[in-house]
Structure 1
Amino acid sequence: MTTSASGTTDWQHWQTSWDRQQEWYMPDREERFRVMTDAVEAVAGRTPLVLDLACGTGSISDRVLRALPGARTVCVDIDPALLAIARGHFAGDERVAFAEADLTDPDWTARLPHGSFDAVVTATALHWLDTEPLRRLYGTLAGLLRDGGVFLNADHMDDASAPRLNAALGTLLTRRQERQRSEGALDWADWWSRVADDPTLAAHASRRFALLGDPRERRPSPVERDRPTATDWHLTTLREQGFTEARQIWCSAGDALVAALR
């Protein structure tokens, strides 16, 4: 059990362990959060109402609220275990609200406490959606943003124009991950094993496994699905779905952050 000195669940531990596990896959993760937060401030000011889409443990909200103490966020996700950690981490913070919703449900926005937002932010989440559901979601998000509001999506996106550079940088990342694993870094499956073993989170984990699958099972890669990976696809689709401007504002070897204005 992960508890604090007072005997309560140490939610900061879970938040930090989630961050470290994610950084094993994305060593530039903190940098893209910084660029994302800067973009929110640049477009929406220092007191924005922000929708943290597919929020996980609330990593983006955590960075936004530290940089912009006057902001408010709504954290929405389908994963009950990650939401439990987010709720625990932000307990008592009236700036943060929560909603449990499936983004592929046409009526998911009815679960939100507000009808419009100054900014919508998301990271390493929407790559799970196939092309058409993601296209529809982009249209829905355009409708949720006020005029002049900003949508920011940091995710696995590629630029096929430089295949040798992509391969070289990918190989380097793999080598670093292997070294870090030998030094005890947790991967996705290991992290979820710890969640499932924690008495406070076990029931939430069981719900998550029934709903979304058991991430502890190390299975072969599934058959390729119809999921867009090119940065250009995201930019073009955002414009088609009601955004007036869209551009890439940050990238690494295998990730990019795109911004779109309503």
Structure 2
Amino acid sequence: MGVSTALAETWVGRWERQQERYAVDREERFAVIADLVERVTRGQRAPLVVDLGSGPGSLAVRLVARMPSARIVAVDIDPLLLELGRTHAPQAARYVEALIGGEDWIEALELDRPVDAAVSTTALHYPQPDRLREIYRELAGVLRPGGVLVNGDHLPPADPAIASLATAVGHCRARRQGAGDGEDWARWWAEARQVPEFADLLAAREARTAPGSGDGNGLSAQRHEELLREAGFRHVGVVWRCGASCVLVAVR
């Protein structure tokens, strides 16, 4: 089910452009996450980082560029995106296929020591609250004391009126930057389905993806903070925000 390097490079490039539609100031958000991980792991010879919902390795590539000695475990349920990552950026991470929050998903990561940082972008707004609390608890169990969970995602303010205004601000900024002019999520996947080399990977993807799994949980940043505290994190808060896009940090 492998794909060629050239094909992977083309489709990862298209993925990157497509994702700019959905994350306000995407590159800055990536940079903020890297800033935080670098600060927390300063002085460590080979920091261990878990990338949750890694897709084709977008965040892992940026982290390893900043921190070449880091060991990154990239976990995702999507076999096509993982294969694109393995082919396009094999040096960035060890790619693991597992459902975050699924049975034995932590064991699937094959961690050999406590984790220094768990990171995620646009993946933790899917699980429902009870499941998300358990995911946070499981992550707290593998992070070292002082380790961090850094989550960059669409996490609006709790007040609906303010959330609406924050979303509008984000859209205005995206328009000023010219982001979102290319293909969207639906078109990327529709055209990927026309690539013969992807057929087996897409069939595996369909078998693993439950109906409705793309629906978000709609939780505010404040609700995520509450769930993180309930899961055992000592210090929790938003350290960066642009519109509804934010970076939330939780310290073990």
Map 1:131-210 to 2 at 5 A.
Answer: 131-161=129-159, 162=162, 165-166=165-166, 168-169=168-169, 172=172, 176=175, 185-210=182-207
Change (3 A) 1:167 1:188: closer
- Where does residue 76 of structure 1 map in the other structure? 75
- Where does residue 248 of structure 1 map in the other structure? 238
Change (3 A) 1:34 1:210: same
Structure 2 unmatched runs, 5+: none
* RCO comparison, higher one (Cα < 8 Å, 6+): 2
Superposition TM-score, scaled by structure 2 size: 0.86
Q: Provide the aligned C-alpha RMSD in A.
A: 2.5
Q: How far apart, in 1, do the equivalents of 2:199 and 2:243 lie?
A: 36
Structure 1 unmatched runs, 5+: 215-221
Preserved contact between residue 57 and residue 83 of structure 1 (Cα < 8 Å): yes
- Where does residue 16 of structure 1 map in the other structure? 13
SS in 2 for 1:98: strand
Change (3 A) 1:192 1:131: same
Change (3 A) 1:193 1:154: same
Preserved contact between residue 131 and residue 228 of structure 1 (Cα < 8 Å): no
Higher Cα Rg: structure 1 or 2?
Answer: 1
- Where does residue 59 of structure 1 map in the other structure? 58
Q: How far apart, in 2, do the equivalents of 1:88 and 1:199 lie?
A: 17
When structure 1 is superposed on structure 2, of 42-51 and 114-123 the one drifting more is 42-51
Give CA-to-partner distance per residue, 1:13-51, whole Å, 9 cap, x none.
222211110001224111110000000011112631110
Change (3 A) 1:163 1:79: closer
Instruction: Give 1:211's aligned amino acid.
Output: R
Preserved contact between residue 158 and residue 221 of structure 2 (Cα < 8 Å): no
Preserved contact between residue 49 and residue 118 of structure 1 (Cα < 8 Å): yes
Preserved contact between residue 80 and residue 205 of structure 1 (Cα < 8 Å): yes
Q: How far apart, in 2, do the equivalents of 1:8 and 1:59 lie?
A: 16
Preserved contact between residue 74 and residue 95 of structure 2 (Cα < 8 Å): yes
Structure 1 segments of 4+ aligned residues over 6 angstroms from their partners: none
Instruction: Give 2:25's aligned amino acid.
Output: D
Preserved contact between residue 238 and residue 246 of structure 1 (Cα < 8 Å): yes
Map 1:112-127 to 2 at 5 A.
Answer: 112-115=109-112, 116-127=114-125
Q: How far apart, in 2, do the equivalents of 1:213 and 1:190 lie?
A: 20
Change (3 A) 1:146 1:194: same
Instruction: Give 1:169's aligned amino acid.
Output: V
- Where does residue 219 of structure 1 map in the other structure? none
Give CA-to-partner distance per residue, 1:55-96, whole Å, 9 cap, x none.
1111110000011111110011111111111111123x2x62
Instruction: Give 2:53's aligned amino acid.
Output: A
Instruction: Give 2:61's aligned amino acid.
Output: D
Q: How far apart, in 1, do the equivalents of 2:240 and 2:115 lie?
A: 23
User: Aligned residues, how many?
Assistant: 242
SS in 1 for 2:219: coil
Superposition TM-score, scaled by structure 1 size: 0.83
Preserved contact between residue 124 and residue 154 of structure 1 (Cα < 8 Å): yes
